[in-house]
Amino acid sequence: MSDQSDNPSLWGGRFSEATDSFVQRFTASVSFDQRMAEQDIRGSLAHARMLTDAGILSAEEYQAIEDGLAIVQAEITSGDFPWSIEREDVHMNIEARLTALIGDAGKKLHTGRSRNDQVATDIRLYLRDAIDAISKELTRLQKGLVSLAETHAATVMPGFTHLQGAQPVTFGHHMLAWNEMLERDYSRFGDCRDRMNQCPLGAAALAGTTFPIDREQTASALGFTQPTRNSLDSVSDRDFAIEFTAASALILTHLSRMSEELVLWTSAQFQFVELPDRFCTGSSIMPQKKNPDVPELVRGKTGRVNGHLVALLTLMKSQPLAYNKDNQEDKEPLFDCIDTVLDCLRAFADMVPHIVPRKERLRDAAKAGFATATDLADYLVRKGLPFRDAHEVVGKAVAEGVRLERDLSDMPLATLQSFSALIESDVFEVLTVEGSVAARDHLGGTAPNQVTAAARHAGKRLESR
């Protein structure tokens, strides 16, 4: 077996002195990039298979590499792998251990590739797996929302603009609005996955390699749609990481908006919904408190992910082609972004199906603030009054309601008729909150039958993923 202890860096031939111990720690990335070990091994196996088929490695050498990497994988899985900061990163740690296990065949594995195209491939493989995991959690959350929407398709609640009561909607309609945000997020992550699903292996350091490699073979073996087209761009591109982080910032923004509403809705001032105790905490001093910690923390983590997006954009903004050591700084923000998105989605997917709307409180709140005023205006328009005139009539009626502290639906017919002779006894059918939501009976509207149909359609779409 070969022992490389005299050259732990694997690249020391050019240097006349050892790397300073502080610089060694400062430049090493193994403490965080070791999480890509499984992807690194997958890439190495595909590369070795291609080198064998190209006649660069013998069948015996390939078998030794395959067997050796199986041992390495087992050691990593069991926690017995000897990670070393002297080896700098996950790639050199694995290669050094493989060489220690199988000798010279391990030294040949790096033929025709560089750490530059190796890490670019590993990151894409890792991020592709992460997007798949995120998409599953996202779908689970969406299913919870859609189920809640169908159950509460007719549960009336206030709709807001400017955080002021505007018009009645249904709780189910509101849940489907949340789902629409997440549907766009699912699509964005899918687009990101499709765009990055090209294989950089074969680009080597920056210019390609002189060996007769088959890039299509390695790309296909690793599940990529095709090899990347330009070796310079292949090793220096981090657009896919930025795009993923941008999509992550958007989904956290959406979860933050939902969180803000849940925080408001669970307050004593709103009392719109109840969250299960297991998603809340109490106060160390105030025994009555039930704090919505999960939504609050998700809301807070949005700034963290937004910061990662700015960090990656700043990292790349001044880099000349091709690879630069700066790019080592892409991994920690990216990895934390993945972890944060997955954790937030899991928390919401676990919590959302157990949200309990307080129906009577929601209905009472929906009546507040003259929420059916627009319905009265529409009623007058259907009677032949121009909308602008109808708007003025209803405005005067609302002013009278403010003076009397009475909702439009509670006013005597005679009082309403004092504002317009077009108003008849059938007006009260449109002044109830139930009548208001039922009247919005069109695609995308809040009528209960439309909400039920939309929820079922969304459910079928989710089941087909």
Residues 6+ apart with CB under 8 A from 303: none
- Alpha helix (H) ranges present in 14-114? 21-27, 30-33, 37-53, 59-78, 90-102, 104-108
Report the DSSP pairing between strands 164-170 and 156-161: antiparallel
* Long-range contacts of residues 84-88, Cβ cutoff 8 Å, at least 24 apart: 84/8, 84/30, 85/24, 85/25, 85/28, 85/30, 85/31, 86/8, 86/9, 86/24, 87/8, 87/9, 87/10, 87/30, 88/9, 88/24, 88/27, 88/28, 88/29, 88/30
**Residue 70 · residue 41 · CB < 8 Å:** no
User: How wide is the angle at C-alpha 196 spanned by C-alphas 327 and 245, nearest 5°?
Assistant: 60
- Hey, which residues are catalytic here? 162, 283
C-alpha pair distances (Å), 186 with each of 166, 251, 306 = 30, 9, 18
How far, CA to CA in Å, does 164 sit from each of 21, 56, 365, 368, 431? 61, 71, 11, 10, 19
* CA-wise closest residue to 348 among 281, 267, 262, 264: 262
Q: In angstroms, rounded to a whole number, what is the distance separating the alpha carbons of residues 394 and 389? A: 9
Residue appearing with tokens 């490389």: 4
Chain centroid offset of residue 352 CA: 16
The closest alpha carbon to 157, from 148, 166, 146, belongs to 166
In whole angstroms, what is the distance from residue 86 CA to residue 196 CA?
Answer: 31
Q: Please check whether residue 345 is in contact with residue 256, taking contact to mean a CB–CB distance below 8 angstroms.
A: no
Q: Are 21 and 100 in contact (CB under 8 A)?
A: no
